């Protein structure tokens, strides 16, 4: 594998070399960038955040930003080409902001102006529920946009009133997931891929694009169920809030029923068509004699996003200037009754970051909570497609030690808690998921690309080798494994799969036969997972925390959030010289960010040497 690692590393070597020189220029701009951010902060009052206390404030919520699971570590994403800092929001910050707005006497209502949003259905489900909670306080919600994508309309439809620009368009066409298959290309290039997935992983479809030219029956079955579950949740929610029959939504999708803006009103999907000035007049009418004052959600939540602290707390402000203290191996208080531990991203060995689950980082966080005398329960927030089987097992072991220490362990699943993400969850006392959470995928696979033929056919490069033993250096990523080697590795995968399913069986109190029936690498929606026993209840993070509170007999617990987040400016500098810099540099050549991230994930996987993965069987792009 070492040779292939070197080849892959060299492939981006020249780009990284150019970035070294580019980084010098980047640092020239850092002072100006920091100065600009400081000015932005100076404009934001720490208590009112520019809320107009003399007029009636309407909170404008557009979701025109990047949504991450946990906010605070990276309050903005930096475009290396333009040096523009684009704000991003954590799901936790969105939910906290909506809850605060619901209790804020200076906020009269919300204007949803959501043309589109790029997030998993589970994230949208949580945000939609928070807007419903806002409405339950008696405050109003109005939605208007010049145009609405399917996901945009799904979010806007939660409003009391929905309006569209007279010449606006709305797409309601159903859901699609499209996959590329590569065998034909491999044949032309003279390369192939060795696939390892054992005999019991027929739903583990990540490997299929390298084996087939279409969906297998098993993969088609699970994908149709997954998309069907998502569509059902969206359709039912829209129908309920608009007071129409769900069949109307299906008819619109089947017949391309929205062709002009008036169709939205005729089908009762919108209340009226309004120009923006007419919308303003409508809002002013709602506010009566009060003066209309609009405040964006980004501005409303600015202090929390930038510092992730309560700026009205003098001790929190003072802590910004204190040297961090090291947490010792001995038992230390952490400052909370419940430890909420975020496990977000692909699972790998070693340290992680805000977008990656490192086994060392998450295992250490669970251990800290286990040893801390004041922590009485742990809630693990999982949003992960899985990853390294070994790293997943390291984290799983800490969850077992936590339970053996007598501390309740509750899991809250976000968008994804699949494969390795389910592995680290399965020992929980109770598991919560959203209806549209993607979970399950209890299975294992291995994948080794064999690119030697491409070197020979396209570049004229030849290879020879000297070994002391027949299988030395195999697999090397260059040439296909022998059948003997494939059989040996499949035995390893079968053993890991057996271990995985046995841990699920023990953790969930299910028979081995029942686990096998719902495993085999198949993915499930949270709603389906509830029916088959992989989760215990549908609910969000707050529901999971409330259950943990009930287990320890506390109603209003103090919470501590782990792992500790890095300083945002420190994280920014790391990003400038790390993977994100590679992505942004390649983007200048016209490559799509989402696919570049997948390429770099594969590169990281190959370099790690961890061929065997407990990972979601596909990268899901839903249109």
Is 576 a member of any domain? no
Q: Which is more confident, 11 or 158?
A: 158
DSSP notation for 416-464:
EEETHHHHTTTT-SEEEE-TT-EEE----EEEEEE-HHHIIIII-----
Is residue 446 scored above 50 in pLDDT?
A: yes
pLDDT at 616: 63
Render pLDDT for 393-427 as a digit per residue (tens, 0 to 9). Answer: 999 999 999 999 999 999 999 999 999 999 999 99
Q: Last residue of a domain, which of 307, 322, 354?
A: 307
> Which position among 119, 157, 412, 419 bears the catalytic label?
419
pLDDT at 351: 87
Is 476 a member of any domain? no
- Determine which of 266-280, 378-392, 435-449, 452-466 has the lowest per-residue pLDDT on average: 452-466
Q: Does residue 407 carry a catalytic annotation?
A: no
pLDDT at 143: 97
- Whether residue 94 has a cis bond before it, omega within 30° of 0: no
Mark whether 84 and 171 lie in a shared domain. yes
Considering the chain, what is the average pLDDT of its residues? Answer: 80
**CA-wise closest residue to 381 among 524, 515, 601, 539:** 539
Is residue 541 scored above 60 in pLDDT?
A: yes
Tell me the two tokens of residue 614. Answer: 């407990």
Is 599 a member of any domain? no
Mark whether 426 and 516 lie in a shared domain. yes
pLDDT at 379: 98
pLDDT at 28: 32
pLDDT at 460: 79
Q: Which is more confident, 75 or 541?
A: 541
Taking a C-beta distance cutoff of 8 angstroms, is the pair 241, 158 a contact?
A: yes
Number of domains in the chain: 2
C-alpha span between 60 and 50 (Å, rounded): 14
pLDDT at 74: 56
Q: Which is more confident, 257 or 605?
A: 257
C-alpha span between 206 and 230 (Å, rounded): 20
pLDDT at 251: 95
- Determine which of 191-195, 316-320, 591-595 has the lowest per-residue pLDDT on average: 591-595
pLDDT at 433: 98
C-alpha span between 47 and 597 (Å, rounded): 39
Mark whether 429 and 345 lie in a shared domain. yes
Q: What does DSSP say about strands 386-388 and 612-615: parallel, antiparallel, or unpaired?
A: antiparallel
pLDDT at 488: 84
Mean pLDDT of 490-494: 85
pLDDT at 549: 97
pLDDT at 39: 39
Q: Which is more confident, 362 or 494?
A: 362
C-alpha span between 340 and 541 (Å, rounded): 9
| Enclosing domain of residue 144 | 46-176+223-307
- Determine which of 13-22, 453-462, 574-583, 591-600 has the lowest per-residue pLDDT on average: 13-22
pLDDT at 567: 57
Give percent of the chain above pLDDT 70.
Answer: 74
Is 36 a member of any domain? no
Render pLDDT for 227-250 as a digit per residue (tens, 0 to 9). Answer: 999 999 999 999 999 999 999 999
pLDDT at 6: 41
Is residue 85 scored above 80 in pLDDT?
A: no
Mark whether 271 and 353 lie in a shared domain. no
Query: 56 - beta bridge partners?
Result: 292
pLDDT at 481: 86
Backbone angles phi and psi of 333, in degrees to 5? -70, 145
If pLDDT is split at 50, 70 and 90, which confidence band does 577 have? very low
pLDDT at 444: 86
pLDDT at 289: 77
Q: Find the CATH number of the domain harbouring 504.
A: 3.90.226.10
pLDDT at 330: 42
Is 469 a member of any domain? no
Q: Last residue of a domain, which of 273, 307, 341?
A: 307
Q: Which is more confident, 448 or 508?
A: 508
Is 598 a member of any domain? no
Spatial neighbors of 444 by CB under 8 A, at least 6 apart, are 197, 198, 201, 204, 389, 493, 496, 497, 500, 521, 612, 613, 614
Q: Which is more confident, 479 or 529?
A: 529
pLDDT at 564: 86
Q: Which is more confident, 469 or 25?
A: 469
Render pLDDT for 10-66 as a digit per residue (tens, 0 to 9). Answer: 433 433 343 333 333 333 333 333 343 333 333 333 334 556 555 568 999 998 888
C-alpha span between 486 and 464 (Å, rounded): 21
Q: Which is more confident, 438 or 592?
A: 438
Mark whether 410 and 295 lie in a shared domain. no
Mark whether 157 and 89 lie in a shared domain. yes
Q: Does residue 419 carry a catalytic annotation?
A: yes
Mark whether 288 and 358 lie in a shared domain. no
Tell me the two tokens of residue 225. Answer: 């169920």
Is 247 a member of any domain? yes
Render pLDDT for 357-398 as a digit per residue (tens, 0 to 9). Answer: 999 999 999 999 999 999 999 999 999 999 988 899 999 999
Mark whether 295 and 374 lie in a shared domain. no
Q: Last residue of a domain, which of 264, 290, 307?
A: 307
Is residue 126 scored above 80 in pLDDT?
A: yes
Model pTM score: 0.76
Chain center to CA of 206: 18
Mark whether 72 and 145 lie in a shared domain. yes
> Which position among 115, 122, 204, 503 bears the catalytic label?
204
Taking a C-beta distance cutoff of 8 angstroms, is the pair 57, 108 a contact?
A: yes
- Determine which of 208-222, 404-418, 608-622 has the lowest per-residue pLDDT on average: 608-622
Is residue 445 scored above 60 in pLDDT?
A: yes
Render pLDDT for 498-524 as a digit per residue (tens, 0 to 9). Answer: 999 999 999 999 999 999 999 999 999
Mark whether 113 and 244 lie in a shared domain. yes
Q: Which is more confident, 590 or 333?
A: 333
Mark whether 336 and 302 lie in a shared domain. no
pLDDT at 53: 58
pLDDT at 467: 74
pLDDT at 318: 58
Is residue 146 scored above 70 in pLDDT?
A: yes
> 381, exposed or middle or buried, with CB in 10 Å at 0-12, 13-18, 19+?
buried
Mark whether 292 and 416 lie in a shared domain. no
Is 181 a member of any domain? no
């Amino acid at each position: 594998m070492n040779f292939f690692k070197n080849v892959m590393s060299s492939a981006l070597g020249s780009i990284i070399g150019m970035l070294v020189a580019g980084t010098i220029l980047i640092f020239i701009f850092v002072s100006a960038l920091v100065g600009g951010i400081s000015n932005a902060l100076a404009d934001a009052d720490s208590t009112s955040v520019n809320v107009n206390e003399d007029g009636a404030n309407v909170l404008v919520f557009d979701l025109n930003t990047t949504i991450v699971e946990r906010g605070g570590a990276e309050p903005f994403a930096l475009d290396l080409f333009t040096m523009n800092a684009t704000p991003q929001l954590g799901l936790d910050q969105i939910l906290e902001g909506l809850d605060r707005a619901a209790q804020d006497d200076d906020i009269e209502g919300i204007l949803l102006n959501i043309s589109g949003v790029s997030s998993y259905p589970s994230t949208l489900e949580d945000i939609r529920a928070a807007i419903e909670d806002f409405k339950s306080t008696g405050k109003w919600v109005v939605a208007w946009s010049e145009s609405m994508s399917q996901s945009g309309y799904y979010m806007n439809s939660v409003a009391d009133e929905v309006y569209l620009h007279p010449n606006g368009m709305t797409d309601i066409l159903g859901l699609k997931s499209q996959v590329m298959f590569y065998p034909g290309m491999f044949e032309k290039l003279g390369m192939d891929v060795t696939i390892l997935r054992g005999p019991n992983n027929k739903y583990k479809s990540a490997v299929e694009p390298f084996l087939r030219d279409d969906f297998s029956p098993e993969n088609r079955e699970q994908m149709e169920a997954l998309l069907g579950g998502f569509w059902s949740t969206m359709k039912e929610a829209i129908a309920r809030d608009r007071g129409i029959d769900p069949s109307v939504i299906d008819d619109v999708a089947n017949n391309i029923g929205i062709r002009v803006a008036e169709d939205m009103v005729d089908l009762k999907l919108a209340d009226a068509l309004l120009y923006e000035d007419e919308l303003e007049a409508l809002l002013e009418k709602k506010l009566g004699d009060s003066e209309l004052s609009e405040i964006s959600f980004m501005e409303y939540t600015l202090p929390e996003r930038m510092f992730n602290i309560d700026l009205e707390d003098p001790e929190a402000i003072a802590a910004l200037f204190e040297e961090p203290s090291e947490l010792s191996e001995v038992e230390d208080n952490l400052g909370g009754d419940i430890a909420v531990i975020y496990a977000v991203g692909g699972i790998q060995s070693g340290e992680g970051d805000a977008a990656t689950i490192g086994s060392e980082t998450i295992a250490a966080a669970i251990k800290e909570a286990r040893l801390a005398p004041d922590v009485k329960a742990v809630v693990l927030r999982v949003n992960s497609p899985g990853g390294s089987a070994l790293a997943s097992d390291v984290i799983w072991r800490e969850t077992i030690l936590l339970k053996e220490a007598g501390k309740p362990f509750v899991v809250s699943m976000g968008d994804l808690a699949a494969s390795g993400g389910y592995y680290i969850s399965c020992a929980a006392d109770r598991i919560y998921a959203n209806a549209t959470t993607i979970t399950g995928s209890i299975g294992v696979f291995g994948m080794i690309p064999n690119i030697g033929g491409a070197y020979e056919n396209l570049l004229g490069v030849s290879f020879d080798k000297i070994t002391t033993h027949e299988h030395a250096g195999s697999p090397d990523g260059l040439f296909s494994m022998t059948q003997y080697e494939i059989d040996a590795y499949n035995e390893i995968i079968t053993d890991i799969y057996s271990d995985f399913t046995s841990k699920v069986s023990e953790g969930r109190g299910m028979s081995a036969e029942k686990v096998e029936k719902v495993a085999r690498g198949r993915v499930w929606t949270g709603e389906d997972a509830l029916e088959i026993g992989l989760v215990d209840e549908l609910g969000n993070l707050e529901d999971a925390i409330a259950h943990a509170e009930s287990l320890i007999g506390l109603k209003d617990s103090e919470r501590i959030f782990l792992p500790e987040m890095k300083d945002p400016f420190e994280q920014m500098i790391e990003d400038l010289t790390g993977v994100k810099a590679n992505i942004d540099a390649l983007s200048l050549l016209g490559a799509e960010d989402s696919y570049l991230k997948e390429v770099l994930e594969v590169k990281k996987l190959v370099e790690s040497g961890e061929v065997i993965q407990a990972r979601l069987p596909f990268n899901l792009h839903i249109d």
